[in-house]
Every structure is written in structure tokens, then in C-alpha cells.
Amino acid sequence: MMSYPFLDFDKLENSYSESLGILDKNFNKIVVVGIGGSSQGAKAITHFLNEKRVQYVDHLNSVKINELLNSAKLDKTGFFFVSKSGQTSEILTIFEYMIKKLDGNIDFSKNFYSFTENASSPLRDLSIQKSIKTIELNKEIGGRFSIFSNNSLIPSFYFNRDLCNEFFYGGRRALEDKDQIKNMAEEDFKRIKNGKNIFAYLIYGDELIEIGNWRKQLYAESLGKNAKGVLPLVSEMPKDQHSLLQFYLDGPKNIFFEIMGMEYSKMNLINITLSNHLDAMSKSLLNINETSNKFIFKDKDMSKIGHFFGSEMLRVIYLAELLEVDPFNQDAVELQKGYLN
């Protein structure tokens, strides 16, 4: 298997360490402005860590943006604008909106940071005009594969830097397990050939929801090509049991299930009930002869999370090879962009 820049951990760690020197270390809140892969990796990690000091603007909702700006202590808030190309329309719109909204109330050169490629682009050029610092993103690493890159690491570990080494350690271990991961991809391929074209992620534990959303983008954008691929679904359990369970257990047999759950260190009544639902779902799937994968995570176990992210990227690459599609392009997405004014 060839090497990939998003799994070159020596270079990724060096880039992260060098970029930390650009940051102000006195913020008490971080606002990440990014869409899709630009911010989803960081959102997955911070959500897993229950890190409320990092907030995300990954929408075009002016009411929510105004509420965020009005409630923030602006001088103690770092704003991270993330667009690898520097041309993402949503990010440029929000950037311009916040510049106008906050002009005179904040020092852009101290509180704003742009994460983009080292090349001329609207975001980079505007940042230079406003004396806004830029943190470079590797042009060879696409958003959905950027979980170990600056746009994911810097917001994720701004308040938890001691956990980043564990995260990298887990990612490195995934490379050691590539044969096992390749076997998983081969099993996935057999399922797809047998008509399992929907992968449902059944998530027991709120901390894992955004990791499920990260997987959704990874699988959909990497494999959905040439009339091939799988449709990934994220199901928040046990809530979705009250709307989708009947369909899951007695509907069409084109769904492959993967259970993701939390193993909490403090097993109170709520956590015990959640665990019981997870076990009951596992037994229900066995009862109807449905195979499933199960991934269980402990509180703040960043080594396990790093291993999971690394494994999933490798799994998608192996599966793309079997499906004979390119996991790194997304040509169909450009069709919609062409219609934007």
C-alpha cells in the first residue's frame, strides 16, 4: 500500500507543533468557522471530549451567528476560519459578515486566524489585507482525510494539549493493524456485492454522534461514485429505536449495522440503561441473523479514538480499491458549485 500525506505522522506532528507557535494562548473560547471536512474532524473530537469552549459555525444561520457574537467575550475569543482552497463560498460569506459585524469591537490581527493553503485565494488575500495570521494547510490533504491535520488538531486540543500525543499514538497503531483493517474492507465488499448498500451506525452515547457524522462524510464522498458505494446513516440511539427500529429489524435486508457505544467510568442509572439498550440491540440483530460490528469507547480514551480514525480512513481506501473508485475526488460536488451565483 502506498503512503499517504494524511497518515505521515512525523510530518503531521511537526506541522502541528510549529503551528502552535502562531497562536495566542489566552483565549477562553474558540469559534471554528468551517463546513464539512474543514471542521467536522475537530467537531468530532471536541464533542467526544465534551469540550464546550469550542463552538462551531458550520451553517448559514444569521440568527445563531448573531447570538454567538453577542454572547462572546470578544477579546478572549479566537475565531478560526477554515477553508483549504480559500474559496469556500459559505466561509467567505461568514468571514465578510463577521468582519463587518465586529469592526471596531475586536482586533482582527489578534483574534482572527485563517486556515488555508499557502497560495493566493480570496480568504488568504483578505487575511493579508486585514493583518490576520494564517495557519497553512497541506494542499495534498482533503478535508475528510484531515483528522490528523492542523484544522482538526488545533481547535480539538487547544484546551486539552496533553491529550494530543495519545491521539497521534492511536493513529500510528492503526498503521500497524493494516492487515486486519484490509480484512474488514474485504468483508465490507462482500456485503456490498450481496446487496448491503446501506451502512447504519447505531450510536449509543451522545459523545459519539459527531464521530458518526465524520464517518458519514468519509464513506459517502469517498465511495459514492460511478453508481457504486454505500449510503451511511447515523442513528442516535435509543431515540431512533422509537422511529426506525421496526424498519431496521423487519424491513428490507439491504442494511449493514455497526454499533458504536460508550463505556462510562461512572455507571449511574442513566448510563446503565443506555448500556442495556445497546446489549438488547446486539441480541436483536443476532436473533434475525444480521451480522454487525461493534466499537466501544471509554471516556476520553484518545488513543482508541486516534486508532479508530486512522483505521476508518484505511478501511475506506481499501474498500475503494475493491470497488474500483478513486476515494480522493468528488467531481459530482462541483456540479452544484457551478450553479452558485
What does the pLDDT read at residue 141? 97
DSSP string across 51-73: -TTEEEE-S--HHHHHHHHHHS-
What is the dotted CATH code of the domain comprising 167-332? Answer: 3.40.50.10490
Instruction: Give residue-wise pLDDT tens across range 64-122.
Output: 999 999 999 999 999 999 999 999 999 999 999 999 999 999 999 999 999 999 999 99
Is the fold of 5-159 the same as that of 167-332?
Answer: yes
What confidence tens digit (pLDDT) does each residue in 286-335 have?
999 998 999 999 999 999 999 999 999 999 999 999 999 999 998 887 77
Section 173-193 average pLDDT? 97
Cell reading at 33: 468557522
Q: What does CATH list as the number for 5-159?
A: 3.40.50.10490
Please give the angle made by the CA atoms of 255, 309 and 252, to the nearest 5 degrees: 5
Q: What's the pLDDT tens digit per position in 270-284?
A: 999 999 999 999 999
Tens-place pLDDT, residues 168-177: 999 999 999 9
Q: What are φ and ψ of residue 112, in 5° steps? A: -105, 140
Whether residue 72 contacts residue 31, with contact meaning beta carbons closer than 8 Å, is answered with yes
Torsion on CA atoms 54, 58, 64, 66, rounded to nearest 10: 80
How far is 19 from 145, CA to CA, in rounded Å?
19
**Does residue 238 have a cis bond before it (omega within 30 degrees)?**
yes
Predicted local distance difference test score (pLDDT) of residue 336? 75
Cis omega before residue 327 (within 30°)?
no
Q: Model-level pTM?
A: 0.95
Residue 1's pLDDT is 56
The DSSP string of 179-237 is HHHHHHHHHHHHHHHTT--EEEEEEESGGGHHHHHHHHHHHHHHH--TT---EEEEEEE
341 falls in which pLDDT band (50, 70, 90)?
low
CB atoms within 10 A of CB 239: 10
Question: How much is the mean pLDDT over the chain?
Answer: 96
Q: pLDDT tens, 127-144?
A: 999 999 999 999 999 999
Taking a C-beta distance cutoff of 8 angstroms, is the pair 302, 161 a contact?
Answer: no
Residue type, 233: L
Query: Could you tell me if 130 and 112 are in contact, meaning their C-beta atoms sit under 8 angstroms apart?
Result: yes
Taking the CA atoms of the chain, what radius of gyration do you get in angstroms? Answer: 21
Cell numbers 455497526 correspond to 258
Domain ranges of the chain: 5-159, 167-332
Nearest to 127 by CA among 102, 92, 75: 92
Are 254 and 242 a contacting pair, CB within 8 Å? Answer: no
- How many Cβ atoms sit within 10 Å of the Cβ of residue 71? 10
Give the pLDDT mean for 225-242. 97
